Chain A
Amino acid sequence: MAKSRRSEYDAAQKRRSIAIASASTIFVVLALIILVPMTPGWEKVQKSFFNTAVLYKSFPKLMEAFKVNVMIFAWSAPAIAVLGLLVALARSVHSPALFPLKVFSAIFTDVFRGVPVILTVYLIGFGIPGLGLPRPWNSPYIWGSVALVLTYSAYVAEIFRSGIESVHKSQRAAALSLGLTEQQAMRDVVLPQAVRNVMPSQMNMLIALQKDVSLLSFIGPVEIFRQAGVFKSLLANFTPYVGAALIFLAITVPATRYADYLMARQNRERQ
């Protein structure tokens, strides 16, 4: 008797909240659809930002340029993961003999998290080639990517470090007391737990990286942001940027969902 009274009540509550949510959503959407075009400048804004003719015209070349973004991301992301992990491990050493390593790692993360990325891109992207490297070693692709990798490794390292520190020290104690060496304890016991703990944060970094690849546009490579800018100047229209945004979303949203799916599946398998 009590069970069905409760479930009836719950069902009614659910119906009510769905109704409220739907109604308010419809109201907001209708308001946007009706009110926004009524604003005086809408037509001009639409022509300038949401111009389908310009979108069609610029889309193919934007897709071409996006390949550059994908390429730079593809070789930077693994480098960042590796370097970030190394720097985090360097920061976590216990042996007093390795203290200089700890200091170096701290300085590294401080500097590269502190300096604005664009500045690093300029300094390294133009500065190091300016020292006199021959082509192709002075390519902006190489040094721009180096700048990205150094910067992002610093953030990724700090996230890994917090992950490592979040693993209770009794885990390390248990590992050592079984006779494992420090390295084995880190590799087999602490690190797997640390990495699992910080995976969501690292996913965030990955998504931020996908967008920051565009910073390389400042030092030459014609990636999607630069290409959109070329169109903007040529056609005096901002729609190419909207096009670029759509292409970004088309990649980042599925990527995020896929990452979420992997995490959920991992958690489910463990039950």
Chain B
Amino acid sequence: MKFVTSISTLTAVLIASVANADSHCADGKTLNDGKLTIATGNPAYYPWVMDDSPESGQGFEAAVAYAVANAMGFENDDVVWVRSSFDEAIQPGPKNFDMNMQQYSITAERDEVVDFSDPYYTAPMAVLVSPGATDTNPTMESLKGLKWGAVGSTTAVAKLQNVIKPEQELLLYGDNADVNAAMSANQIDAALFDLPTALFLSAVMIEGSKVIGQFAADESDNPDNFGMLMEDGNPLKPCVDEALAELKGNGALAAIEATWLQDTTGVPLIK
């Protein structure tokens, strides 16, 4: 942990020193002058945020948030965290955050109602199976025969319905916790999550479960690109995009990814 902490701190300091030099694109465009208000989920899950405390800067999204904030000229103390649900993000009307980071996939329909930053991560989808199905082959054929569950509000649903097309009816749930419960109760064999979440769930939440395969990130109709969600027409967007471009250009973003999402290699591709 200490090693990891120092890496992200180092990264943040690197960026801050670069950013502080120029004028601040974000001036006057945030909810509260001089402060950047970022929303995350309630609770915020590992490995995106550690211990449900984004203020620590620990976790992939927390780290990226601070990196982008610094790149836009905000000190760490200027970052204010709030919690929100998915619904609050897409309801019409003013938001109580400048940006919302909780593994939102960028889709065309959503883009009509809100604005997304450029992607900060491309998430492969991975298959998590229950202890009873761990010897399933990572092939499309085998996947069709499993009983599938998914979180209803995610792009996993579209992938299941359009790509995998399982033989048995889907069961859909409100959040990850309920999918876990269903898997533990042996009501479903398999569920689809983004790879880091799948690995976390397998390691910690459901004993005996296994991530048997992942889909290549650019496969099928909609690769899952995570973007920061903002109010429609938010003038902050170009500043955020500029900051992200900077982080991508100097390798900081990749470094953060390597730090927090390093376990994502070694999972076979679904054939």
Q: Which residues of A contact B (CB under 8 A)?
A: 41, 44-45, 47-49, 122, 126-127, 129-130, 132-135, 138-140, 217-222, 226, 229-230, 232-238
Contact = CB atoms under 8 A, between A and B. Distances in A.
Nearest to A57: B109
Contact of B92 (A44, A219, A235): A44
Contacts of A235: 109-110
Interface of B: 86-87, 90-93, 107, 109-110, 112-114, 147, 149, 152-155, 157-158, 169-174, 178, 181-182, 184-188
A44 B182 contact: no
A220 B187 contact: yes
11 contacts: A47-B92, A48-B113, A135-B147, A139-B187, A222-B169, A229-B152, A230-B153, A235-B110, A236-B113, A237-B109, A237-B113
Contacts of B158: 234
Given A48-B113, A129-B186, A236-B109, A230 B92 contact: no
Which 9 residue pairs are nearest across A and B when measured between Cβ atoms?
A: A220-B171, A233-B153, A44-B92, A129-B185, A236-B110, A48-B92, A130-B185, A236-B113, A236-B90
A179 to B, nearest CB: 55
Given A48-B113, A218-B178, A229-B153, A138 B186 contact: yes
Contact of B185 (A41, A126, A217, A221): A126
Nearest to B186: A138
A132 B169 CA distance: 21
B152 A140 contact: no
User: Dominant SS at the A interface?
Assistant: helix
Contact of A233 (B154, B170, B171, B187): B154
B23 to A, nearest CB: 32
A234 B111 CA distance: 11
A233 B152 contact: yes
Contact of B93 (A44, A219, A221, A232): A44
Contacts of A48: 90-92, 113
Given A41-B93, A48-B113, A236-B110, A226 B152 contact: yes
Contacts, number: 98
A154 B109 CA distance: 45
Q: Determine which residue in B107, B147, B170, B185 has the highest number of CB atoms from chain A within 10 A of its CB, and name it.
A: B185
A140 B182 contact: yes
B170 A222 contact: yes
A238 B107 CA distance: 16
Contacts of A233: 86, 152-154, 157
A138 B189 CA distance: 13
Given A129-B186, A233-B153, A234-B107, A222 B171 contact: yes
A267 B86 CA distance: 51
A226 B149 CA distance: 13
Nearest to B107: A234
Contacts of B172: 217, 220, 222, 226, 230
Given A126-B178, A220-B187, A232-B153, 19 more contacts: A41-B92, A44-B92, A45-B93, A48-B91, A122-B181, A130-B186, A132-B186, A135-B187, A217-B174, A221-B171, A222-B152, A222-B171, A229-B152, A235-B109, A236-B107, A236-B110, A236-B114, A237-B90, A237-B113
A67 to B, nearest CB: 12
A140 B187 contact: yes
